[in-house]
A = this chain, B = another copy of it.
């Protein structure tokens, strides 16, 4: 039950090295000079006893946890979880910190109220999209708990650093591509979940592109895709049944694009001849679809790295960029109508 643990404590080391625990502590943390021979003795004894400091004791004494938390929403499927995590983990590791992960699913935890991640078990927090609600964010903010947000902006009025990707410019560009190169004029936009910020900005880019090219915005062409395949698929199927006319779909994200292409195929429409389809994200498989998907590359791993970096800066120096927008680039493949042989 209770493991014996390493059981060799700093006092054991101190005794065998004939010094005080204070000195051992100082040697370990390089927090004050220690004479050479003492250093050597301690070094030797530590190695001999295979001493490793008890993390919890240290945390208690220093009031630091040496860990940062990552709060994600419950359903994190999809390609992009891996790379993002990889990015985060790599810089967290470089700084000798631990990474604590949790979904904020209150139903799961014994309903014991509190947040699974917070000041009591982490020194800082990376908040993914809307994995945390505003009252909790306010709460942490007031107690000056370091946080950075990814794929969202902070709630109104709070100065919390955030890392986002360039949504609007890229969306604008890809929709403009549909218009100028492929002469599409009835372009559906499949929006993401209500309130999703990426989706919001993508829609803005979409509308700007329409606007600049003299195409009137038609609210009937903005439909729910929810960033999910089967929903996107159903939406397009419905649209076809209802006789909605369109010649292109900007699918909100690659997942939705996959659903769209499936629905179109099932309905006997050819992509890209009859309908152009473009996505957003450039997921791993997107280049292998037929036709290969034209989309926007999002630097997911980089988002992770930068977020962790910012958080660590914030923890150490109390400062960080207030908003970082990572560049995206559009990737022209076949599903828009280009490169078709």
- Within 8 Å by CB of A108, from B75, B93, B105, B288, lies B93
| A residues in contact (CB < 8 Å) with B | 1-6, 52-57, 59-60, 62-65, 67, 74-79, 81-83, 85-86, 89-90, 93-94, 96, 98-103, 105, 108-110, 112, 114, 116-121, 123, 143-145, 229, 258, 261-262, 283-285, 288-290, 318
**Do B67 and A76 touch (CB < 8 A)?**
no
Summarize A's interface: helix, strand, loop or mixed: loop
Chain B residues with CB below 8 A from A105, complex form: 90, 93
A283 to B2, CA, bound (A): 41
Taking the nearest CB of chain B, how far is it from the CB of A172, in angstroms? Answer: 27
Q: Are the CB atoms of A60 and B63 closer together than 8 Å?
A: no
A82 near B78 with CB under 8 A, answer yes
In chain B, what residue has the closest Cβ to A47?
Answer: B113
Contact B120 A288 (CB under 8 A): no
Shortest beta-carbon distance, A178 to chain B, in Å? 22
Cα–Cα, bound, A242→B126 (Å): 51
Q: Can you name the residue of chain B whose Cβ is closest to the Cβ of A283?
A: B285
28 residue pairs A–B, Cβ–Cβ below 8 Å: A2-B62, A3-B143, A5-B119, A5-B120, A52-B114, A53-B120, A55-B121, A56-B60, A59-B60, A60-B60, A75-B86, A76-B85, A78-B79, A78-B82, A78-B284, A79-B82, A81-B85, A89-B103, A93-B103, A93-B109, A96-B110, A98-B100, A99-B100, A229-B288, A258-B285, A261-B288, A289-B289, A290-B290
